[in-house]
Amino acid sequence: MSRQEPPEFDRYAGRYEEDLRRSMPAALAEDRYFAEYKVLHVARRMRDRPPGTFLDFGCGVGRSLSIAGEHLPGAQLWGYDVSTESVALARERTPQARFASDLDALPRGHFDVVFAANVFHHIPPAERHDAMRRCGELLRDGGRMFVFEHNPLNPVTRRVFERCPFDTDAVMLPRAETAALIETARAHGLFVLLEAFDADDIALMHQLVETYAGDAQLLGGVNCRDLSTLEVVPARLLELAPLLPAQIPRVAESGVASAADARAVAAAGYALALVGSALMQGDDPQRLAAALLAAARAAVP
């Protein structure tokens, strides 16, 4: 991650939010959702051991970091980005956080969570494995790294990617490199969620699972959003469940909004569910979360 020339994102920092919104299809205009559901996923995964230190690796202008402050209120927040212009804006947005633009300035073995949301496709391919290794060195014993990346086979993702000015020089991760990063993640004790939208995706998932047979850190997820209409189709969770690999935990992504939904996906064999919109939009998220858990647990013998 060279600093020899001014970082590319220095040019886009001031208009990052506007460029992102213009790149999104109208049906996906709620761009905060895409930042927030990632942070909520981390908060849920860490609920039994809330992080004391949280690093947003590639924090940009601080969209995710400010949301992390809402959902991880006890965490000391840190942001890192090579773009000093972006860091300046992030500091205004989240003044309580600590920031760095020099990777060597970050304390090693210090962080309970290292969070990288749509960052690795901006790192030159030759430098990605080293970046993953450096992230692993920043984690304290028992810490976790969460990496979110675009699916290059998703046509909606490709549309946004191709329209976005600051993705012009970025390179999405192809399957072979994703497999290599799985190996790197496994070496650092991280888990990997393999996401599928249809049967073809699940066929690829089977190939990856066979390659890493017995690896308990792989999860298989179904996202039930219809990529043609962008509508959420909960029935797809049930239709695709029998096709998922049996040897890894199954994750229901999207489409779980009620106790009945939770009961149905649990009965279909899903061990986990990502629930974002229903909790954010509900009047009593704590009560809804309790109802979802109770219904799912009651459905499992």
| pLDDT score, position 172 | 53
Task: Say how far apart CA 236 and CA 226 lie, in whole Å.
Answer: 9
> What's phi and psi for 140, nearest 5 deg?
-80, 170
SS3 content of the chain, % helix, strand, coil (to 5): 50, 15, 35
Match 């066979």 to its residue by tokens.
Answer: 210
Residues 203 and 170 in one domain: no
My answer on whether 91 and 27 are in the same domain is: yes
pLDDT value of residue 18: 52
Tell me the H-state helices in 112-258. 128-138, 155-163, 175-187, 199-211, 235-240
For residues 46 and 164, membership in a common domain is answered with: yes
Q: What is the pLDDT of residue 151?
A: 58
Domain of residue 52: give its range.
1-190
Final residue in a domain of this structure, among 151, 175, 190: 190
Which token pair is 175?
């399957």
Predicted local distance difference test score (pLDDT) of residue 6 = 46
Sign of CA dihedral 157, 162, 165, 169: positive
What does the angle CA 81 – CA 185 – CA 74 come to, to the nearest 5 degrees?
55
Residue that terminates a domain, selected from 159, 190, 221: 190
Domain boundary among 170, 190, 210: 190
How many structural domains is the chain composed of? 2
Beta-sheet strand order (sheet of 192-196): 192-196, 218-223, 250-253, 272-274
What is the identity of the amino acid at 14?
G
Res 274: pLDDT:
86
Beta-strand ranges (E) seen in the chain are 53-57, 76-80, 98-100, 111-117, 139-148, 192-196, 218-223, 250-253, 272-274
Please give the helix or strand (H or E) that residue 267 lies within, else none: helix 259-267
At residue 105, what is the residue type? A
Same domain, 107 and 200: no
pLDDT for position 140:
92
Residue 159 buriedness (CB in 10 A; 0-12 / 13-18 / 19+)? middle
Pairwise CA distance, residues 161 & 286, whole Å: 35
pLDDT tens for the chain, 301 residues: list them: 444 444 554 444 444 445 444 444 443 344 577 778 889 888 888 887 899 999 999 998 898 999 999 999 999 999 999 988 889 989 999 999 999 999 999 999 999 999 998 888 778 888 888 888 899 999 999 899 998 876 555 554 545 544 544 344 545 556 666 677 777 777 767 778 888 888 988 998 898 888 776 655 788 999 887 766 767 889 999 999 999 999 899 999 888 999 999 999 999 999 999 887 788 777 888 999 999 999 999 998 7
CA–CA gap between residue 270 and residue 203 (Å, rounded): 18
Residue 213 pLDDT: 62
Q: Which amino acid is at 134?
A: R
pLDDT at 99: 97
